[in-house]
Every structure is written in structure tokens, then in C-alpha cells.
């Protein structure tokens, strides 16, 4: 059945109804009673009442033209920035800007300030914490994750910790908690032009540069601060090199993820916290191996209830260029996963 803009429809497989607002081929955008625009397949809708004020079927054809503009991580552009003051932002970018509310989305952390920052961002799920960290240079952005509207919960919580890196000033670190709500992605009015990217996206201000608190140091505190900054830089270098201590050969690393290998007094750690520690360490080692260009890493996780392995595989699905599977039983027994960082040589 072909629908028209203005038709009143109800959902075939669930409770609810609304008005047809847009049509993209067999994809129909329905506005519900709360004002949210919901993308639905034409076959999943039933006509309740035909629109009286629309005589012809209106169909917006999507052009299959490839957008040749690349999203440069350098975010300074020629667009007007008057309404966007310097600060730290989050942007939610639809991969298909023509139909943003029916598109997968990329999430970016944007440093729209005149200073570099060291950041740690934590995505908090039930029983699991995913984190990403690094240096974000001034006026640049970094992808911190991807979202699919149909798969995401109603709300995802994040915690951002940041340290401002400045040559002549010292700023207090700051922590900011925020959420991405599913409803945000379902309102086309939320997508707007901004100075960060070429296409419309949802920009969210996290902290203005003018709100950053400068700390006036005494001479002793300044010396201590310089030492701390040096330690932070050493920590970043160490984390990037973490895989090196597990190298068996220049092209093979073996990482034991058993909790007693990672922490002292593992008996004092709850199961949920233990899983978070293991997954965090797994991801650090994986990122380090990718950075160092190692051919293969074997992660020894044991058998147990299979929860750790299952969560590891969920993380590995975000790396489409990697090949992974069970490690050879004869060599590692049951309970190990091998990950090929570089293509397998045939």
C-alpha cells in the first residue's frame, strides 16, 4: 500500500499510531502523539484515515550520489561560529544526513578550544563500562563511538574527565556527566549546522572555555605540577606500550586476563567490577597492539561461564578489520582467543 503525507496510520506489530510526515521509498516517517518522528517500514503500517488535503502521493527520492566531502578531524571551518563559543562539545553525526532519524550515528568529542586536552570518557552500561582516552589537540575532534537507533536503549550515560594542557597556565581538572537520549536522535529539529562538520549534526555543549578554572600556583606548587604533568605524559606513553611486556616474539603477544594476574587481592573485588577491570585491560592491550602493528595477540581468559569471552567478542565486533576466533586448543587449552591484527598470510 502506498501512503500519502498526512495519512493517519497505526503500527502493525505494536500499539500506537500517528501521522505520515515524510516518505523515502518504502521508509515512512510517522509523527506520534508526543511529536517524535519514528521511521517505519511501509509494510509495518496500516492506514486508519486517508489525508483529505493531499491529492497526490508525495515521495522524496533519495539520490544515490556519494558525498565526496570527508570529515576532517580538524574542525575549524569558514562557517559562522557566532553562536558557538569556544568550548568542549559532543556532536552526534548521522552517517546519512538525508534521513538523519533513520541513520546510524557517529559520536564525536570536539575540542573547540585554543588548548590541547587530555581526556578520559566512560560510557556506562549495565554491568559494564567502556572507556576511551587520549590527547585531543585544539580545534580537532575524535570519534568516541557509534549508535544505531534501533539497538540503543532510551538513554546512555557518559562521564567525561578532562585535564587542560597549557604551557603558561594551569587549569583545574573537571568532570562532566551527561546522557544521550534516544529521543534526541528522533527529532529532525535537533540537527543543525555547526562550525565543526560539513553536515548537520546534534551539537551538545559540555563546557565553555571561559568556564575553565585557572589555578594560581605558588612556586612549590608549580614545581609539583610540572612533575605531575610529566607523570601523566609518562602514563600515556606506558599505556601505548603496554603490549610490549607480553611479546613472545616480535609478532606475537600473549595476554593473561585472569583477574589474579591484573590486580592484588582479587578476592575483594565484586564480579561486576572484576569484569570491568578485565575488559578495560583487554581493550588497552588491543589498542596498544594495533598501535604497535603486532601480527597476532592471544588473550587467555579461561572458560568459566563464558561472560568475559562474550563481552570481548562484542568489543571485537567494533573492529571490522580484525580476524578473531578460538586459539589452538593443543597450545593454549580451552579458554583462549586469538586476534589477528594484520591480515593472515595465505
- Counting the structural domains of the chain, the total is 3
CATH at residue 92 = 2.60.40.1600
Nearest by Cα to 141 from 98, 79, 204, 235: 204
Distance (Å, rounded) from C-alpha 135 to C-alpha 119?
A: 6
Does residue 224 form part of some domain?
A: no
Query: 151: domain range?
Result: 87-211
Residue 90 has pLDDT above 70, yes or no: yes
- Do residues 287 and 279 touch, judged by C-beta distance below 8 A? no
pTM > 0.75: no
Q: Which domain-ending residue is among 21, 43, 61?
A: 61
pLDDT number for residue 84: 79
Nearest by Cα to 106 from 90, 121, 119: 90
Does residue 218 form part of some domain?
A: no
Instruction: Say if residue 53 is in the same domain as residue 94.
Output: no
- Do residues 336 and 301 touch, judged by C-beta distance below 8 A? yes
Instruction: Say if residue 198 is in the same domain as residue 312.
Output: no
The predicted-structure confidence for 223-261, as pLDDT tens digits, reads as follows 665 665 555 555 544 555 788 889 999 999 999 999 888
Instruction: Say if residue 103 is in the same domain as residue 185.
Output: yes
Instruction: Say if residue 91 is in the same domain as residue 207.
Output: yes
Instruction: Say if residue 127 is in the same domain as residue 163.
Output: yes
CATH at residue 7 = 2.30.30.520
Instruction: Say if residue 319 is in the same domain as residue 255.
Output: yes
pLDDT number for residue 35: 67
Instruction: Say if residue 309 is in the same domain as residue 262.
Output: yes
Instruction: Say if residue 11 is in the same domain as residue 124.
Output: no
The predicted-structure confidence for 158-209, as pLDDT tens digits, reads as follows 889 888 888 777 788 888 888 898 888 988 888 988 888 888 899 999 988 8
Instruction: Say if residue 164 is in the same domain as residue 116.
Output: yes
Cα 241–Cα 244–Cα 246 angle in degrees, nearest 5: 135
- Do residues 86 and 113 touch, judged by C-beta distance below 8 A? yes
Instruction: Say if residue 41 is in the same domain as residue 138.
Output: no
Distance (Å, rounded) from C-alpha 159 to C-alpha 150?
A: 23
* Helix pair angle (271-292, 307-316), 10° resolution: 40
Distance (Å, rounded) from C-alpha 327 to C-alpha 155?
A: 37
CATH at residue 312 = 3.30.1370.110
Residues listed for the chain: 346
Nearest by Cα to 125 from 321, 334, 314: 314
The predicted-structure confidence for 110-150, as pLDDT tens digits, reads as follows 999 888 998 888 887 655 667 888 888 888 888 888 888 88
Identify the burial level of 280 via C-beta atoms within 10 angstroms of its C-beta, where 0-12 means exposed, 13-18 middle and 19 or more buried: middle
Residue recorded with cell 553536515? 199
Residue recorded with cell 502521493? 57
Amino acid at each position: 500500500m502506498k501512503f500519502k503525507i498526512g495519512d493517519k496510520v497505526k503500527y502493525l506489530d505494536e500499539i500506537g499510531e500517528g501521522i505520515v510526515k515524510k516518505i523515502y521509498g518504502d521508509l515512512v516517517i510517522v509523527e506520534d502523539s508526543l511529536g517524535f518522528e519514528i521511521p517505519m517500514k511501509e509494510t509495518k503500517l496500516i492506514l486508519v484515515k486517508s489525508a483529505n488535503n493531499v491529492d497526490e502521493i508525495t515521495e522524496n527520492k533519495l539520490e544515490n550520489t556519494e558525498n565526496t566531502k570527508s570529515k576532517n578531524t580538524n574542525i575549524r571551518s569558514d562557517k559562522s561560529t557566532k553562536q558557538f563559543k569556544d568550548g568542549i562539545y559532543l556532536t552526534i553525526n548521522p552517517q546519512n544526513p538525508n534521513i538523519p532519524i533513520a541513520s546510524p550515528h557517529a559520536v564525536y568529542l570536539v575540542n573547540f578550544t585554543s588548548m590541547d586536552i587530555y581526556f578520559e570518557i566512560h560510557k556506562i552500561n549495565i554491568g559494564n563500562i567502556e572507556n576511551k582516552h587520549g590527547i585531543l589537540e585544539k580545534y580537532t575532534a575524535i570519534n568516541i563511538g557509534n549508535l544505531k537507533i534501533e539497538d540503543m536503549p532510551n538513554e546512555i550515560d557518559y562521564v567525561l574527565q578532562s585535564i587542560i594542557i597549557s604551557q603558561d597556565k594551569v587549569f583545574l581538572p573537571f568532570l562532566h556527566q551527561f546522557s544521550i537520549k534516544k529521543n534526541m536522535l528522533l527529532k529532525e529539529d535537533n540537527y543543525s549546522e555547526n562550525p565543526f562538520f560539513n553536515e548537520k549534526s546534534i551539537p551538545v555543549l559540555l563546557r565553555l572555555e571561559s568556564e575553565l578554572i585557572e589555578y594560581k600556583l605558588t612556586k612549590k606548587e608549580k614545581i609539583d605540577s610540572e612533575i605531575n604533568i610529566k607523570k601523566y605524559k609518562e602514563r600515556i606513553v606506558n599505556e601505548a606500550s603496554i603490549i610490549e611486556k607480553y611479546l613472545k616474539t616480535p609478532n606475537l603477544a600473549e595476554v593473561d586476563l585472569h583477574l589474579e594476574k591484573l590486580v592484588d587481592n582479587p578476592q575483594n573485588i565484586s564480579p561486576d567490577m572484576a569484569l570491568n577491570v578485565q575488559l578495560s585491560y583487554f581493550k588497552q592491550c588491543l589498542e596498544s597492539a594495533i598501535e604497535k602493528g603486532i601480527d597476532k595477540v592471544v588473550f587467555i581468559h579461561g572458560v568459566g561461564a563464558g561472560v568475559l569471552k562474550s563481552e570481548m567478542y562484542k568489543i571485537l565486533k567494533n573492529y571490522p578489520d580484525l580476524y578473531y576466533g578460538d586459539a589452538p586448543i593443543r597450545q593454549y587449552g580451552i579458554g583462549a582467543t586469538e586476534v589477528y591484527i594484520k591480515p593472515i598470510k595465505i
